[in-house]
Amino acid sequence: MTYRSAGVAMLDSYRHPDPPKEPEVKLRLSGVGKDFVSHGQVAQRALVPLNLDVYDGEFLCIVGPSGCGKTTLLRILAGLETATSGTVEVCQNQGDRTGGRKAHARPGNSMVFQDQSLFPWMSVRDNVAFGLKARGFSRAERYRMVQPFIDKVHLSGFENALPHQLSGGMKQRVSIARAFANDPEILLMDEPFSALDEQTKIVLQGELIRIWEEDRKTVCYVTHSIDEAIVLADRILIMTARPGRIKEMIDLAPIFGRPRDVETVKSSAEYGKVFARVWGALRDEVAGAAAEGGKS
């Protein structure tokens, strides 16, 4: 993906100052910004042009006050919105499951959407296999390929169920399996658990960590929950209120190692400290966003 480059005067940067053991950059954003334009004029600046490197195999969580442009950023990465400026580069890995067949090429990214993104007219199996069908795999091939992912999210036996027969948590499991089964270079997740109750959420966070740790794909995960970001992330990117820019980057990898589990993180002494640090960075932004929301 290449975008027209706008002026770089206002570049807001985060390049890793001291990358441990030279991690490979998987996703590089250079000057990616977004303005909403109406009548030929910039009506609202959603995203200040930003630079960002996401490393191969990293779980990056993006948090920020509501309306800060974090979902816009993710949608730009997903190809669902075009950036006003800047470039997004994805490093393609060698050797995927497609056996070199060009038509079946591994996709750049796959997204786990917020709730209600499953096709209600397709069985669980067909929903999970949707990306593979788009890539041209035959029915037999894709059904064989998705079965391990259906098993991983504990939906064996529900292959032929329709989404309306499933609970909210089961639906999001299908959604996760759909993205993982597509074997993308990068996984994008847009608050996938935000509509779930607290207990289901904890269970699914644990399962997501477990499945993700098997092959450690690069993940960009947008959430409004500080708790969720701490539990899941290697690094947390904190964004300012609109127009969104990078406020702070918090590296959790040295604090909470891998493999990780939800209870250990939540019950640790560091959890409270990290929470205070993230909230400290966010507090003013949230207050600012609320004040602005009150004005308009």
Residues forming contacts to another protein in the complex (CB under 8 A) are 78-80, 107, 109-111, 113-114, 116-117, 119-122, 130-131, 133-135, 162-164, 182
> Which of 79/168 has CB closer to another protein?
79
Smallest distance, another protein to C-beta of residue 106, A? 11
Q: From 179, 35, 202, select the one nearest 114 (Cα to Cα).
A: 179
The angle, 0 to 180 degrees and rounded to 10, between the axes of the packed helices 139-152 and 168-181 is: 130
Helix ranges (DSSP H) in the chain:
70-77, 124-128, 130-134, 139-152, 168-181, 198-215, 226-232, 262-267, 269-295
> Which of 51/114 has CB closer to another protein?
114
Per-residue 3-state assignment (H helix, E strand, C coil) for 168-214: HHHHHHHHHHHHHHCCCCEEEEECCCCCCCHHHHHHHHHHHHHHHHH
> Which of 16/135 has CB closer to another protein?
135
> Which of 187/209 has CB closer to another protein?
187
Query: Coil, strand, or helix at residue 92?
Result: coil
> Which of 182/240 has CB closer to another protein?
182
Question: Which structure tokens are listed for 34?
Answer: 């977004």
Question: Which structure tokens are listed for 295?
Answer: 């004005």
Tokens 């750049």 map to which residue? 108
DSSP conformational letter for 104: G
Smallest distance, another protein to C-beta of residue 118, A? 8
Q: What are phi and psi of 284, to 5 degrees?
A: -65, -35
Indicate the helix (H) or strand (E) that contains 88: strand 85-90
> Which of 153/278 has CB closer to another protein?
153
> Which of 36/119 has CB closer to another protein?
119
Smallest distance, another protein to C-beta of residue 138, A? 14
Smallest distance, another protein to C-beta of residue 100, A? 19
Smallest distance, another protein to C-beta of residue 206, A? 25
Smallest distance, another protein to C-beta of residue 179, A? 9
Smallest distance, another protein to C-beta of residue 270, A? 35
